[in-house]
């Protein structure tokens, strides 16, 4: 019994030492492990942020390359309908004020046209009233034995026609002035076919053939005055349709 009693003590000591060994090792290992978990996650987000910043910084250098390749077209150089239609659609999308300005111009145009038309109708009515009054006056003079006025009368068909033509000429000049002002405004808005370069416009009726009947090459990139007016009217119709939407 006396010999067997130390054995449990030795076993318990070894067991105790065995239990303490991992703890001492963990205590020795834990201090160097503590700094690693804390700083190790930090470099990765910082590196990602730097990479993102670098990506954003390098993006602007790539943008000018395509933009320089797709240089905007000068509306004053467009003399073909499809190109003009594409241009005006881009302008309308880019500048919302274009439709508002065109609406105002159309409104002013219609107001002037109504005024001119009503003015012409009023002139014709005055001429009729004047002619009827002159006839009544002549009838009264004849009834009392008086003599009617001789010579040219302001109620003669010739004079009435001349008066009406004078009014129409004034209206025509006013229309030309209005068209000129509208063309200037449309040109400032970047609408094609208005403000077309003079060197691209071929006078109406000009011969396109050379001395030997061949088409002059430099004339190919030009547009006839009559055709330009047709394109202007088509463009105005497009703008008016856009304003009605």
How far apart CA 164 and CA 179 sit, in angstroms, is 22
Which residue positions in the chain have pLDDT lower than 50?
A: 1-5, 24-29, 31-32, 34-44, 46, 49-50, 54, 57-58, 60-68, 210-219
pLDDT of res. 84? 94
pLDDT of residue 136: 83
11 domain residue, yes or no: no
Tell me what pLDDT residue 77 has. 93
Co-location of 145 and 202 in the same domain: no
- Cα 204–205–209 angle (5° rounding)? 120
pTM of the model: 0.57
Give residue 173's pLDDT. Answer: 96
Assess if residue 179 is contained within a domain: yes
- Residues 6 or more apart whose CB falls under 8 angstroms from that of 223 comprise 79, 196, 200, 201, 202, 231
| Residue 126 domain flag | yes
Q: What pLDDT does residue 114 have?
A: 97
Residue 217 lies in a domain: yes
Are 173 and 223 contained in the same domain?
no
Task: Please give the residue range of the domain that contains residue 164.
Answer: 112-188
Q: Looking at the structure, do residues 211 and 91 belong to the same domain, yes or no?
A: yes
Residue with tokens 């797709």: 70
Long-range contact pairs involving 148-157 (C-beta distance under 8 Å, separation at least 24): 154/130, 155/127, 155/130, 155/131
Answer yes or no: do 134 and 164 share one domain.
yes
Domain termination residue (choose one: 188, 205, 228): 188
DSSP assignments along 65-88, one per residue: HHHHHSPPPPGGG--SHHHHHHHH
Q: What DSSP element (H or E) covers 224?
A: strand 223-224
Looking at residue 145, its pLDDT comes to 73
Which domain-ending residue is among 145, 166, 188?
188
Whether residue 198 lies inside any domain: the answer is yes
- Tell me what pLDDT residue 141 has: 80
77-80: long-range contacts, CB 8 A cutoff, minimum separation 24: 77/196, 77/197, 77/200, 78/192, 78/193, 78/196, 79/193, 79/196, 79/200, 79/221, 79/222, 79/223, 79/228, 79/231
Is 23 inside any structural domain?
no
pLDDT recorded at residue 204: 76
pLDDT of residue 66: 47
Structural domain count, the chain: 2
How many CB atoms are closer than 10 A to CB 78? 23
Pair 166, 211 in one domain: no
Query: Do residue 240 and residue 208 come from a single domain?
Result: yes
Residues 194, 183 share a domain: no
Of 233, 196, 240, 199, the closest CA to residue 73 belongs to 196
CA distances from 146 to 131, 140, 142, 216 (A): 19, 8, 5, 75
Q: Do 120 and 228 fall into the same domain? A: no
């Amino acid at each position: 019994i006396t010999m067997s009693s130390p054995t449990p003590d030795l076993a318990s000591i070894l067991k105790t030492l065995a239990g303490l060994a991992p703890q001492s090792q963990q205590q020795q290992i834990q201090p160097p492990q503590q700094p690693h978990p804390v700083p190790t996650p930090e470099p990765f987000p910082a590196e990602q942020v730097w990479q993102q910043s670098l990506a954003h910084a390098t993006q602007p250098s790539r943008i000018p390359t395509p933009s320089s390749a797709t240089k905007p077209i000068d509306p004053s150089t467009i003399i073909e309908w499809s190109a003009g239609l594409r241009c005006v659609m881009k302008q309308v999308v880019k500048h919302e004020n274009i439709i508002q300005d065109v609406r105002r111009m159309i409104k002013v145009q219609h107001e002037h046209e109504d005024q001119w038309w009503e003015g012409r109708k009023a002139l014709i009515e005055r001429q009729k009233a004047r002619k009827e009054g002159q006839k009544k006056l002549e009838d009264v003079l004849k009834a009392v034995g008086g003599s009617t006025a001789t010579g040219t009368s302001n109620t003669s068909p010739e004079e009435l026609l001349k008066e009406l033509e004078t009014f129409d000429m004034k209206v025509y000049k006013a229309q030309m002035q209005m068209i000129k002002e509208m063309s200037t405004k449309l040109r400032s808005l970047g609408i094609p076919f208005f403000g077309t370069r003079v060197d691209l416009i071929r006078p109406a009726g000009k011969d396109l053939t050379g001395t030997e009947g061949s088409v002059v090459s430099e004339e190919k990139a030009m547009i006839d005055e009559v055709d330009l007016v047709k394109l202007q009217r088509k463009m105005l119709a497009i703008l008016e349709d856009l304003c009605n939407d």
